[in-house]
Structure 1
Amino acid sequence: MTTGIRFDRGHTDDLMTFLAASPTPYHAVANAAERLEKAGFRQVAETDAWTETPADGAARPSGGRYVLRGGAIVAWYVPEGATPHTPFRIVGAHTDSPNLRVKPRPDSGAHGWRQVAVEIYGGPLLNSWLDRDLGLAGRLTLRDGSTRLVNVDRPLLRVPQLAIHLDRSVTADGLKLDKQRHMQPVWGLGGDVRDGDLIAFLEETAGIPAGQVTGWDLMTHSVEPPAYLGRDSELVAGPRMDNLLSVHAGTAALAAVAASGAELPYIPVLAAFDHEENGSQSDTGADGPLLGTVLERSVFARGGSYEDRARAFAGTVCLSSDTGHAVHPNYAERHDPTHHPRVNGGPILKVNVNNRYATDGSGRAVFAAACEKAGVPFQSFVSNNSMPCGTTIGPITAARHGITTVDIGVAILSMHSARELCGADDPFLLAGALRAFLEG
């Protein structure tokens, strides 16, 4: 598609680096925070007082700030001249992806095999996790209450598939996987399986004294790095594009806007939540209070009142950015016949009249204006009427905070696979649209 845009593969190169370095939500927000720190943002603690008002009572800008909580990050930039009732422009995304997560008693095994007990998180395509070299990463909690990130980014585990000779029915009836019996990975040999073996291994790997880890949030990831694909390298294959592609684009857009020195009519915000894949109902999910609390405290820190908060929220718009479905060449009948989003065709605007997406006509106009300003083409997506429609943090954000919300994203294939596929130009196009939106 001809757009008149000079595509920047440097952005996509950086996305691939970000994906590889972010095997868990905890790593993703840490990497986003590091990039924002380089752009002049600084972390604020939720337990500290957020006073930004001098003794004379005149509100002053706070510059770039961010809050980290678990696998979520909320970052914002207050420009010169912002008032307590200045509205926000929010890019919303999520940091979690479907995968296999370690159970409270992780050590198991049978018949001479040592295995790790895992629970299924979200809605992964289970077959995509078979016969794939897996690493293990996440967050360890120590006796003193501190946390430590760990990432074993080498082939450590594998979920072996049953040989066809032992199940001839698979060719006729298709592969049927039991989540409990068939998805437990192996990670070694030995008949003596003892509680604590996996955690002791991770303590040694992370350089933590033995017996200090008392809690963990651990998950598997494919260790195969992201890669360009196709005759002309016009595609990208990689893990966790749903939805770290949007987290990366939102981080890049916010950092660029903060560094531009441009006059901004809004306060740009990035809100990347955890737990979207299982309903968003957590203290770090979009259905929790994190975003609303941060925005309110920002208003009050600038000397604002509840009236200022109400005025700011009334003028606020959120772009809920999440991946969507590109038309599949082998299953085109599953898509709406008049809406066939294509990779490298620009971001998609998601619409569903039953409010599975939050987009309405006025929201479409906001997104169209941002794309026009950025010179970015966009496409529309609606589900086939005979197929169920997925959802995002968009409707949750709109309902919980009473703010105008628009659902957008990048069209991909193989959503919820251990390895997904997108166009190599679309991440750059999305970031351009997000930056124009944040600039107003």
Structure 2
Amino acid sequence: MFSYTSATAASTELLPREERERRLEAAGYNVFGLASRDVFVDLLTDSGTGTMSDAQWAAMMEADEAYAGSESFRELEAAVSDVMGFDRVVPTHQGRGAENVLYGCLIGEGDVVPNNTHFDTTRAHVSENGGDPVDCPVEEAGDLGGEEPFKGDLDPEKVRALVDRVGANRIPAIVLTITNNSVAGQPVSMANVEATRELADELDATFVIDACRFAENAFFISEREDGHGDRSTAEIAREQLSHADAIVMSGKKDGLANVGGFVGVRDPDLFERAKQRAILYEGFSTYGGMAGRDMAAMAVGLREAVTEEYLGARIGRVRELGDRLRERGVPIYTPVGGHAVYLDAGRALPHVPDDEFPGQALVCELYREGGVRGVELGSFAFPETDRPELVRLALPRRTYHDEHLDHVAETAAAVLDRSDEVTGLKVVSEPDNEALRHFSAELRPV
């Protein structure tokens, strides 16, 4: 058993509409530029924004802050071994640090890396190391209203077609993201994990699982895939990862912590290379950029994350938000995934053309209308890719109550009621790395 006290980073006061409009304009119509005190309900991300349990807080109070040989690292190492099945662990400050460490060891100039669907930092790290990130989702992923159970799967035939074009020697790794964040948090089946393992063996490629939401994915396998309904989510979680050669993990998701991450590997040589790279970029190999208290909290969080009690409440909460939105006629991606509800901005704002970023326009209107902060995951966040125009409303763990969910749904419905008034946006400044532009680019209304 564990308990927690709900907490939010957002303001408890809804600013007047005129003030929200001023702050949105000052932020360059990019909600990453808003201060948390400007936001009433903050659904920008579930990464590190949740509330920790009493057991996690207790562990933090007894943490070991030693630079080398920290006992808190040993606790984290044991939790990763027990829960995820990886005995060789390289700690990092968060998930993108893990990506930098692992992909810097695996990927070189001219390489091609298939993924069920790359998320923003994954795509950027592959590109930064000279690789070409290629998305290989199943066709069902493009059906925003369909009810197929595993829309997050990777399509092995798309990877084989890629091999025919570039050659197997240019594919050093295959990545499977579970759950598939870029495809509306949709889960990946155990059968698809096994098929990806076989494919990696065919190509002599390293099979990497982005395991940020591994526990949520295991819940969906238990619920939706034949042959797994009578198994515990902890057992399924460990089995799905047993097929991978390596994992990258953000502890800010299913580690239930506010910061931290790690790389898990099986190969001793890769482990040594990853440790040396981590020392250069992250910190010594028994802290990796984390304080001992953060490692202690994550060690407890990993064990809590695979319990039925936690997962039933977590995913049930997300579904409640999805139900409230649908009841009010707000178009969403279905079925609802594990960590967020994704609004279909293309259907919500059909008059706004893709090159004027309907998703980002919807994000701005949600804030303008009700102080709700979401994030666009369409043509603005992923330029030069064929992505649907989605807006993610990611629920922080153990944080918001029924009244907050009602406010979000009512805000979205109010925006739809006046949708014909909403205009598109254009980019007026952006960083050199286009794959990361949604974090800092500025826009203005067309």
Identify whether the pair has TM-score above 0.5, normalized to the shorter chain. no
- Normalised-by-shorter TM-score class: under 0.3
Q: TM-score, normalised by structure 2?
A: 0.24
Larger Cα-atom Rg: 1
Is the helix fraction higher in 1 or 2?
2
Is the strand fraction higher in 1 or 2?
1
